[in-house]
Amino acid sequence: MFSGKENIILFDGPCHLCQGIVQFIIRHDSKSRFRFASLQSAAGVRLLKEYGYPVDKTDSVVLIKGKKAWHKSSATLRLLHELGGLWHLAIVFFVFPKFIRDYIYDLIAGSRYRLFGKGKSCPLPTPEIAHLFLLK
């Protein structure tokens, strides 16, 4: 059940790299602080609109925490920090200016389909992890 206190990660559903990152987060999220929605899902589109992001762009992860939202490198670094363990050290990369971090992010995002592949749609979560996904 979604309480509204969790971090919500919006990701590009058909992207194989993005799917792998979601699985990585699920495996390392020992405190179950993250919920997920595909950018293309009804929940993803609703949240994008609510937080002022364009609904037709799927080249950025979006992290929502309470009333705040971040995208691109800021979202990535914050979610790694939230994972805890050694991943929280990712926060040190905030010393680099956002335009540099986002430039590197955009290079990876721009070639993610070519390097990692793209499915026709976002696969449905297994019953064991379905509760972590927002669909509506």
In tens, the pLDDT along 22-55 reads 999 999 998 888 999 999 999 999 999 999 999 9
Predicted confidence at residue 128, as pLDDT, reads: 84
pLDDT at position 6, please? Answer: 75
Label residue 106 by pLDDT band (50, 70, 90).
very high
Q: What pLDDT is recorded for position 4? A: 61
Name the more confident of 50 and 59: 50
The pLDDT tens digits of the residues spanning 112-126 come to: 989 888 887 777 787
> Does the pLDDT value for residue 2 go beyond 60?
no
Give the per-residue pLDDT at 119.
83
Q: Mean pLDDT across the chain, nearest whole number?
A: 89
Q: What is the SS3 assignment for the chain?
A: CCCCCCEEEEECCCEHHHHHHHHHHHHHCCCCCEEEEECCCHHHHHHHHHCCCCCCCCCCCEEEECCEEEEHHHHHHHHHHHHCHHHHHHHHHHHCCHHHHHHHHHHHHHHHHHHHCECCCCCCCCCCCHHHECCC
